[in-house]
């Protein structure tokens, strides 16, 4: 038989994961990078760092239906390098990796959605949505 999680369990798991972003005295950050996402979040970040977003604290709202949404979206920053965003990594304020995931343009279904995945130096890029979802089973 397969393991299945209740909604309350999914909410607790999502809240526990996203609460790690708030470790340390400051706010978490999200880095946009080119190329393919590494095999695990424990692997060294790859690709060119295109932009870094500073999040609010707490970084996420409380989970509902097993999903926690990134708080205060849209969030914007400016591009530090030019390229196509291929993935993202979230770091707590101590610089520890919390998670990473897929990125798409708004409506594309990525874990993190941006107004555009084409990043240019000095041009504003915006996170339009971000969600961490725990599966039901």
User: Mean pLDDT in each 10-residue stretch from start to end of the chain (137 residues)?
Assistant: 93 97 96 97 98 97 97 96 98 97 96 97 97 92
Helix (H/G/I), strand (E/B), else coil: 73? coil
Token pair belonging to 136: 């039901």
The closest alpha carbon to 125, from 35, 21, 28, 50, belongs to: 50
17-40 pLDDT tens trace: 999 999 999 999 999 999 999 999
Locus of tokens 């890029």: 125
Mean pLDDT of the chain: 96
Q: What is the pLDDT of residue 137?
A: 80
Sorted by sequence, the CB contacts under 8 Å of residue 21 that are 6+ apart come out as: 28, 55, 58, 59, 60, 90, 92, 98
Are the beta carbons of 103 and 111 closer than 8 angstroms?
yes
Q: Give strand pairing partners of 66.
A: none
Tell me how far the alpha carbon of residue 105 is from its chain's centroid.
Answer: 14
Q: What is the pLDDT of residue 81?
A: 98
pTM attached to this predicted model: 0.94
Q: What is the pLDDT of residue 27?
A: 96
The closest alpha carbon to 51, from 21, 22, 85, belongs to: 85
What residues does each domain of the chain span? 7-133
Are the beta carbons of 110 and 97 closer than 8 angstroms?
no
H-type helices in the chain, by residue range? Answer: 7-19
Q: What is the pLDDT of residue 77?
A: 98
Distance CA 72, CA 2 (A): 36
């Amino acid at each position: 038989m397969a393991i299945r999680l209740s909604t309350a369990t999914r909410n607790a798991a999502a809240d526990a994961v996203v609460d790690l972003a708030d470790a340390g005295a400051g706010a978490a950050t999200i880095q946009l990078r080119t190329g393919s996402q590494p095999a695990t979040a424990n692997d060294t970040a790859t690709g060119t760092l295109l932009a870094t977003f500073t999040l609010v604290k707490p970084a996420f709202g409380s989970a509902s239906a097993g999903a926690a949404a990134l708080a205060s979206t849209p969030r914007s920053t400016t591009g530090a390098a030019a390229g196509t965003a291929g993935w993202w990594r979230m770091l707590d304020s101590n610089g520890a990796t919390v998670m990473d995931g897929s990125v798409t343009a708004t409506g594309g279904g990525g874990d993190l959605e941006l107004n555009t995945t084409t990043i240019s130096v000095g041009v504003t890029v915006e996170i339009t949505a971000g969600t961490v979802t725990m599966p039901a089973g």
